[in-house]
């Protein structure tokens, strides 16, 4: 009897959890009519936010590969002074509230800082621009790529790398022909997580880039703006599209993990 009531209690609690997740999503899908949605999907503002989000997040994925793989290599393969510090720096953006990150970037890149002034001398204006969005998204999402790639590098048998070296390969050739192919799965996982994080980024982006429709309004920003100004159906339309994107990425990620585990 005791067991039965325990099981019942556990099931009830799990049920509450399921409601917590499912009900809001359900509400989202049912808050507006299909015809209204179809109309919104064709609205230029919705489309522009989708394009801006895709453009910036793909740029972020590309940049995080360029920056992240070398950093991951350094952390996984080399011993050097300050390695622990670098390692902590990689974790920092993950634990930092995005709004705080955004504020920090705003101050650094804004017209009042020395750095910002220097940049605008050369005609580079990062604040309230797509470049600003990219920097903000990169800041918060690159750690995912670095960590996943670093783990992949670290799990490669050191002697496999040594074998390549003793066979006459340079470190670069070894990197190209051994490390990258063997870390492939980890890098793909990193790309998916980085991309998902960049797509969903709101706090830092809105701080740095503001919310200028058709220029710096990403999907997340559009959801917020429209909801706040009473354009609920536009907001929902963007939200549903974003959900589709992130569920697809989640699905791909889960499938990769399962394939990997085999």
Partner 1 sequence: MGIILKGISKSYDGRAVLENLNLEINQGEFHVLLGVSGGGKTTTLSVIAGLIKPDSGSVFIGTRDVSDLSPDKRKIGFVFQNHALFPHLSVFENIAYGLRLRKITEKEIKRKVDYYLNGVSIAKEKDKFPSQLSGGQKQRVALARALVIEPEVLLMDEPMNSLDSMTKETVLDELKNIQQKIGVTTVYVTHDQAEAAFFGDRVSVLNNGKVDQIDSPVGLFRHPRTEFVARFVGVKNILKVSPIKINNNEIIVLIKNEGLERPIKIRVKKYPVFEIDKEINLCIHPEKIILKKKNKVPENEIPDTGLNRIYGKIINITDFGNVLKVTININGMEMYATIPKNLFNFNIYENVWVCFATNAPHPLCGKKCRAPASERRCLNNSNFAPLNGG
CA 262 – CA 243 distance, rounded (Å):
29
Q: Are 179 and 152 in contact (CB under 8 A)?
A: no
CA 56 – CA 61 distance, rounded (Å):
9
Around Cβ 195, how many Cβ atoms within 10 Å? 25
Choose the stretch contacting partner 1; rule: CB under 8 A; options: 12-20, 159-167, 218-226, 246-254.
Answer: 159-167
* Dihedral sign from CA coordinates of 64, 69, 74, 76: positive
Task: Say whether residue 167 binds partner 1 (CB under 8 A).
Answer: yes
Determine phi and psi for 82, rounding to 5 degrees: 85, 10
Task: Say whether residue 80 binds partner 1 (CB under 8 A).
Answer: no
Task: Say whether residue 83 binds partner 1 (CB under 8 A).
Answer: no
Task: Say whether residue 77 binds partner 1 (CB under 8 A).
Answer: no
Q: Which long-range contacts (CB under 8 A, 24 or more apart) does 4-10 make?
A: none
Candidates 22, 27, 94, 160: give the one binding partner 1 (CB under 8 A): 160
Task: Say whether residue 35 binds partner 1 (CB under 8 A).
Answer: no
Candidates 3, 5, 30, 166: give the one binding partner 1 (CB under 8 A): 166
Choose the stretch contacting partner 1; rule: CB under 8 A; options: 3-11, 33-41, 57-65, 154-162.
Answer: 154-162
**Cα torsion for 194, 199, 203, 209, to the nearest 10°?**
110
CA 92 – CA 69 distance, rounded (Å):
18
Q: Residue 3 or 157: which CB sits closer to partner 1?
A: 157
Q: Residue 78 or 114: which CB sits closer to partner 1?
A: 78
Task: Say whether residue 176 binds partner 1 (CB under 8 A).
Answer: no
Determine phi and psi for 246, rounding to 5 degrees: -75, -30
- Least distance in Å: CB of 158 to partner 1? 8
Task: Say whether residue 181 binds partner 1 (CB under 8 A).
Answer: yes
Helix/strand/coil for 6: helix
Residue 224 tokens read as 């917020």
Task: Say whether residue 155 binds partner 1 (CB under 8 A).
Answer: no
Count of chain residues binding partner 1 (CB under 8 A): 17
Candidates 74, 96, 178, 211: give the one binding partner 1 (CB under 8 A): 178
* Dihedral sign from CA coordinates of 110, 112, 113, 115: positive
Task: Say whether residue 3 binds partner 1 (CB under 8 A).
Answer: no
Q: Residue 19 or 163: which CB sits closer to partner 1?
A: 163
Residue 206 tokens read as 């809105």
- Least distance in Å: CB of 161 to partner 1? 9
Q: Residue 59 or 156: which CB sits closer to partner 1?
A: 156
Q: Which residues bind partner 1 (CB under 8 A)?
A: 157, 159-160, 162-170, 173, 177-178, 181-182
């Amino acid at each position: 009897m005791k067991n039965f009531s325990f099981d019942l209690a556990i099931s009830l609690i799990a049920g509450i959890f399921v409601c917590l997740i499912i009900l809001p999503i359900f509400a989202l899908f049912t808050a507006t009519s299909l015809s209204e949605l179809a109309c919104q999907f064709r609205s230029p503002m919705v489309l522009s936010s989708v394009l801006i989000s895709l453009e910036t997040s793909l740029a972020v994925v590309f940049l995080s590969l360029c920056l992240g793989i070398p950093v991951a290599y350094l952390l996984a393969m080399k011993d050097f002074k300050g390695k622990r510090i670098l390692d902590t720096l990689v974790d920092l953006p993950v634990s930092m509230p995005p709004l705080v990150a955004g504020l920090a970037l705003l101050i650094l890149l804004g017209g009042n800082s020395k750095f910002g002034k220097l940049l605008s001398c050369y005609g580079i204006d990062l604040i309230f621009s797509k470049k600003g969005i990219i920097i903000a998204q990169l800041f918060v999402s690159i750690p995912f790529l670095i960590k996943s790639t670093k783990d992949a590098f670290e799990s490669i048998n050191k002697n496999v790398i040594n074998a390549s070296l003793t066979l006459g390969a340079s470190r670069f050739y070894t990197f190209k022909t051994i490390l990258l192919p063997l870390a492939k799965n980890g890098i793909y996982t990193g790309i998916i997580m980085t991309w998902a994080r960049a797509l969903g980024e709101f706090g830092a982006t809105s701080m740095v880039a503001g919310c200028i429709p058709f220029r710096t309004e990403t999907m997340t920003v559009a959801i917020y703006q429209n909801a706040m100004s009473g354009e609920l159906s536009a907001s929902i339309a963007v939200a549903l599209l974003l959900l589709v994107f992130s569920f697809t990425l989640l699905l791909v990620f889960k499938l990769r993990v399962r394939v990997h585990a085999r």
